[in-house]
A and B are shown apart, each in its own frame.
Chain A
Amino acid sequence: MNPSQAAQSEDTMQYGIFSVGDVTTDPTTGHTPDDTERVRNILTIARHADEAGLDVFATGEHHNPPFVPSSPTTMLGYLAGLTTHITLSTATTLITTNDPVRIAEEYAMLQVIADGRMDLMMGRGNTGPVYPWFGQDIRQGIPLAIENYALLRRLWTEDVVDWTGKFRTPLQGFTSTPRPLDGVPPFVWHGSIRSPEIAEQAAFYGDGFLHNAIFWPMEHTAAMVNFYRQRFEHYGHGSADQAIVGLGGQVFMRKDSQKAWDEFRPYFDNAPVYGHGPSMEDFTRETPLTVGSPQQVIDRYASFREQVGDYQRQLFLLDHAGLPLKTVLEQIDLLATEVVPVLRAEADKARPAHVPADPPSHAERVAAARAAGEVHEQKPAAADHWTGKTAEDDLAAADAATR
């Protein structure tokens, strides 16, 4: 069997967008989209990002209003069928409150449907009540993330799993289906803003680490990323500068910088996540939020590699603060045509040859696994390994029962 074709074949840094999926009133019109409108808008945004040539679309996962994306693989599976180039991902998949067995199943299914054009990012979730709603406790956030992910990896790499842990009912003889595409699981990122334990986890496994710095000064981001890099090297996955790093950011652009400030200010001043705290001047100085011309965005984002090193994925939040769909699509066009080509060329030129340009694609992971002799060939499951029965046996039994 040949490894599936991955769209991301050229060696170049990835630029994409992520959506938190919040429903926010447009303060300039008073319009609040309902959940259906917001979900459809996100689908339009993702397809537009694909058509514009961006590399990644990632969706958040939430289980409380005012956020709509509760079911990421449903959304991403649909997008996999309608897009051709863009890598589909998450920001983030809740490794704490989701059953790791369901994550294994759902994302392996997405991997097959998307023909490998996907990855995913683990996150813990910071909304207290979501934990008890799913039978968990936020104070166990880190232990949940550690144990659940350890189980998830086994479900993807071992055909039959016996397992006992603290947080989930034990498994005996469990097989997660479908088995991963070409016997190689999806690439995994771990996202955390404040917990070095998660950077440690990402480094231990040689997975990617994404710091979503949208509310944080770059000094803090650099400290977390550099800790991950050192631990990545410590665990023998390569040199520190070869670790797979992603950053989050957010921008608002117009060709004329002053127009960008005038247009975005009412959104900034009223958004639940930005408003009524620091001024837009303070916030744009302290965090990656950049409001201005495409050239100003280029200047700002091109400088981040000086603090975190050469990195592989930059995600932008564009559909925030209640901006209308039309504006978001214009932002995608500006990003894709004026900003990304310049940033990409600068990043690709500055990066030493031994540093990966992008996170590993499915095809690259298959090739690496084969070279290491780690590909697990799937045995045809002719019979249920519990009952020894085949589908034909079941059919015969069903016929007998209904005769």
Chain B
Amino acid sequence: MSERSIVVLSAGISQPSSTRLLADRLRDATVSELAARGITAQVETVELRDLAHAVVDMTLTGFASGDLARVIEKVEAADGIIAVTPIFTASYAGLFKSFVDILGKDALVGRPVLLGATGGTTRHSLTLDYALRPLFTYLRADVATTSVFAATDDWASDDEVNPLPARIRRAGRELAEMVADREPSAPTGLFDAVPSFDQLLGGA
């Protein structure tokens, strides 16, 4: 069996958090779909709340301290990313955006990403398409066609007309297919792509 690494980013603020609940379900769906394709997923789930101070510090200082440095390395080396945020004031949570802001602008190029969001009512569901998707398009990530929004009501009913479980399965399948089709990522270093001086001089 081959292996792929998946990083789950959850920007929920309260604990327990419905954002984390959705993130876990998207993770489970992705892991089982990968397993069905003979791929073992190495999963790391990151609660951005735990890194909130370090994220602000890095915004101000430019360098990552402590656990944040390790998480950024994991994200930049992941074969697939599941990113889930609560919707606050008509957009993604500020903490979620602050984390995305400190990633390198090329950190997610070509990287399979599955998007999820939670909110009080389904009126906010299009936020996924007017806020989150353009953000990851800008970063040139490979965003799964299906993204999943869960409102409070979606957690209440557990019958065959509730569309949430089916959406989660479909989204997990899409991400699993994208991850399976892609060569495993190798971590890239700061010095891997430095042009030689002749190239630098020629380009001047």
> Is B156's beta carbon under 8 Å from chain A?
no
Closest to A274 in B: B61
- Inside 8 A of B204's CB, which chain A residues have their CB? 143, 146-147, 150, 165-166
- Give which listed residue, A200, A203, A220, A224, contacts B63 with CB less than 8 A: A220
Do the beta carbons of B200 and A197 come within 8 Å of each other?
Answer: yes
Q: Beyond A200-B194, A227-B191, is A215–B63 a contact (Cβ under 8 Å)?
A: yes
Q: Beyond A150-B204, A165-B204, A277-B56, is A196–B194 a contact (Cβ under 8 Å)?
A: yes
Question: How long is the Cα–Cα vector from A282 to B200 in the complex, in angstroms?
Answer: 38
- Inside 8 A of A146's CB, which chain B residues have their CB? 200-201, 203-204
> Is B62's beta carbon under 8 Å from chain A?
yes
> Is B161's beta carbon under 8 Å from chain A?
no
Do the beta carbons of A277 and B63 come within 8 Å of each other?
Answer: no
Question: How long is the Cα–Cα vector from A29 to B200 in the complex, in angstroms?
Answer: 49
Task: For residue B203, give the distance in angstroms from its CB to the closest CB of chain A.
Answer: 6
Task: For residue A136, give the distance in angstroms from its CB to the closest CB of chain B.
Answer: 13
> Is A323's beta carbon under 8 Å from chain B?
no
- Inside 8 A of B65's CB, which chain A residues have their CB? 217, 278, 282, 286
Question: How long is the Cα–Cα vector from A165 to B194 in the complex, in angstroms?
Answer: 23
Do the beta carbons of A196 and B190 come within 8 Å of each other?
Answer: yes
- Inside 8 A of B59's CB, which chain A residues have their CB? 277
Question: How long is the Cα–Cα vector from A166 to B203 in the complex, in angstroms?
Answer: 10
Task: Please tell me the number of chain B residues within 8 Å of chain A, measured between CB atoms.
Answer: 18
Per the 8 Å Cβ criterion, residues 35-64 of B in contact with A are: 56-57, 59-63
Do the beta carbons of A197 and B63 come within 8 Å of each other?
Answer: no
Do the beta carbons of B61 and A277 come within 8 Å of each other?
Answer: yes
Question: How long is the Cα–Cα vector from A272 to B186 in the complex, in angstroms?
Answer: 38
Question: How long is the Cα–Cα vector from A165 to B63 in the complex, in angstroms?
Answer: 36
Closest to B192 in A: A196
Per the 8 Å Cβ criterion, residues 157-204 of B in contact with A are: 190-191, 194-197, 200-201, 203-204
> Is A216's beta carbon under 8 Å from chain B?
yes
Task: For residue A155, give the distance in angstroms from its CB to the closest CB of chain B.
Answer: 16
Closest to B62 in A: A215
- Inside 8 A of A235's CB, which chain B residues have their CB? 197
- Give which listed residue, B56, B60, B61, B196, contacts A200 with CB less than 8 A: B196
Residues of A within 8 A of B (CB): 142-143, 146-147, 150, 165-166, 196-197, 200-201, 203-204, 215-217, 220, 223-224, 227, 235, 276-278, 282-283, 286-287
**Besides A200-B196, A287-B63, 14 new A-B residue pairs in contact (Cβ under 8 A), listed by A number:** A143-B200, A146-B200, A146-B201, A147-B204, A150-B204, A196-B190, A197-B195, A197-B200, A200-B194, A200-B195, A217-B65, A220-B63, A278-B60, A278-B65
The 8 A-B pairs at the shortest CB distance, nearest first, are namely A277-B60, A147-B204, A204-B197, A196-B194, A146-B204, A278-B57, A143-B204, A277-B57
